[in-house]
Amino acid sequence: MSHEPPIPAGNQSPFPLQEPKHEAGGPPPGAAIARTPAPKPGLHPAIIGGLVAAGTVALAAFGAWAYASEPKNKRKGGKRRRKAR
């Protein structure tokens, strides 16, 4: 039993299903080897992570303060009901 289902003749792809084998060869003669540039000095990733964490904490603290400082007796909206006389 084959592992591939049979494909009708009208549905076969015009392109090859498998890529032809390539010859094993090295780089073309005279080609320069590309090297990665040396890393530039900068902020250490741990410092950047600490700054992001501090900003997140500050933002959460500001949100909590803004939520807590909202007046509690503020009307929630909706229609006013008339009192019965």
pTM of the entire predicted model: 0.38
- Cβ proximity of 27 and 33 under 8 Å: yes
Tens of pLDDT, residue by residue over 25-68, are 776 676 667 777 777 777 788 888 999 999 999 999 999 998 88
Q: How far apart are CA 38 and CA 52, in angstroms?
A: 26
Q: How far apart are the two ends of the chain, measured CA to CA in Å? A: 90
Tens of pLDDT, residue by residue over 5-15, are 787 888 877 77
Q: How far apart are CA 59 and CA 51, in angstroms?
A: 12
- Cβ proximity of 49 and 55 under 8 Å: no
Q: How far apart are CA 52 and CA 59, in angstroms?
A: 11
